[in-house]
Amino acid sequence: MMSSSFPVVRLKPKANARAIRHGFPWVYENEIVIDRRTRNIEAGALAILEDGERRPMGVVAVNPNSKIFCRMLDRNPEAVIDQAWLVEKFARALALREQIYDAPFYRLIHAETDGLPGVVVDRFGDTAVIQPNAYWADTLLDEMVAALVEVTGVSCVLKNGSGRARTLEGLDEDSAVLVGTAPEGPVPVVMNGATYMADLTGGQKTGLFYDQRPNHEFAAKLCKDAKVLDVFSHVGGFALASLAGGAKTALAVDGSAAALELAEAGAKASGFGDRFDTRKGDAFDVLTALAEEGETFDVVICDPPAFAPSKPALEKGLRAYERIARLAAPLVSEGGYLVLCSCSHAADLARFRGASVRGIGRAGRQAQLIHTGFAGPDHPLMPQLAESGYLKALFFRL
C-alpha cells in the first residue's frame, strides 16, 4: 500500500510527540484529534501520523475501536507497507535467532520489538504458529504469511486466534491452518537437554512457552540430586529441565490434565519417566495439601499465569503472588531454593519482588535473592515499552 493514499491522523497539541519520536510505538485514543474523518477510518487501515503542527511522523496502523488508536509501523512517512516490507522485517528477526540458536525452535517475531506491532510468531521447526493480535495484522494476514514462508521456508503455518489481546482489538478467536497440513500429534522440542511436547493446535497460546528457556537452564544448576516441585508446570517446564540437570525426582502440578499428559510424554521421551510424577489440581490447594502432608522439597518453582494482566488487576494480582510465596516457602527445605515467576507486565519487577518477599516473610522464612531472570533473547525487550519486558523470575535461597 502506497503511503500517499493514506488518510491522516493528528496528535492533539498537548500529546507527547517527543515520546513517539524517541521510539514509543503506541498512540492512545485520548491523544488523537477525533473528527468526522478520523471516526470513518476502518479498523486495520493504515494512516499517516502527524504531530500537533502537522509534521508527518510515520505510517501507523489504526484501530478506532481500541484504546491503542495507532501503532507505529514505519517512521518513514513515505514507506510502502507491502509483502517486500514484511519480508525485510522477517529477515531481520530471523538473522538474530539464527545467530543465537542452533535449531529452528524459538520465538521468531516478538511483536513491537521486532517491528511488527501486535504480531507473535513462534517457530517449531518446519511449522510456524502466528498470532495476529492487532487489527492491521489480521487485515494483511495473507501478505504476512507469504512473507513468513518466503523468508523461513516453513511448510506449515498455523493461526492461533485465542487470547485476550485479540478480544481487546475486536477480532474473532478463530484458529486455522493457513499453509500446509497441521502436524499430527504433539511436536517434540529439545531445550536444555529435555524433550518437550508442544500441542500446536489444542495447547495454550502457540503450544509452548519459549520465554522461560534461560530460567529453566539456571534452575537446572540448582537441582543436581534435588527433590523438585514444579507448580503451574504446564507441559513440564521447569520439572523436565531440572531432571535434565540431574534432579533425583520432580513433581509437576497443574490444573490441566491435558498439559500434564504432555509433560509425562516429554519425561518419557527424555528418558526421565521413572523420576517424574504429576499431580492435577488447583495450585493453591495442592500447596496447602503438601504442607499438611509434611512434604518438603530441595527446590520449589512456581510459574503461574498472569495474575495481573492489566493495571486494574494489579493489586489483586500482587496479593495472589504474595499468597503463592507464603504457601510455597514452607515447603522448601533449609538451604533449599524457591523460584517465583511472573509474566504480568502490569506488575513491574520491584512490585513483584516486594510481593514475593512479603510472602516469604509471612511464612517465617529468611531469603537471599541469588538471581533475577528474564525472557530469552528471542523475546527481545523494547526499551521504550515496559510491556515488552513482562517476564520476571526470582531465585531465592531460603
Residues acting as catalytic residues? 343
Distance CA 289, CA 37 (A): 60
Which helix or strand (DSSP H or E) is residue 393 part of?
strand 392-397
Quick one: CA dihedral 153, 158, 164, 170, positive or negative?
positive
Instruction: Name the grid cell of 163.
Output: 487470547
Q: Are 235 and 266 in contact (CB under 8 A)?
A: yes
How many C-beta atoms lie closer than 10 Å to residue 324's C-beta?
Answer: 25
SS3 at position 139: helix
Looking up cell 488447583 gives: 282
* Those residues with Cβ within 8 angstroms of residue 277's Cβ, 6 or more apart along the chain or in another chain: 249, 250, 251, 252
Burial readout 112-134 (b: 16 or more C-beta within 10 A, e: otherwise) = bbbbbbbbbbbbbeebbbbbbbb
Q: Are 220 and 192 in contact (CB under 8 A)?
A: yes
N- to C-terminal Cα separation, the chain: 58
Q: Are 48 and 101 in contact (CB under 8 A)?
A: no
Give me the DSSP letters along 191-205: ETTEEEEE-TTTSST
One-letter identity of residue 365: R
User: What length does the chain have?
Assistant: 398
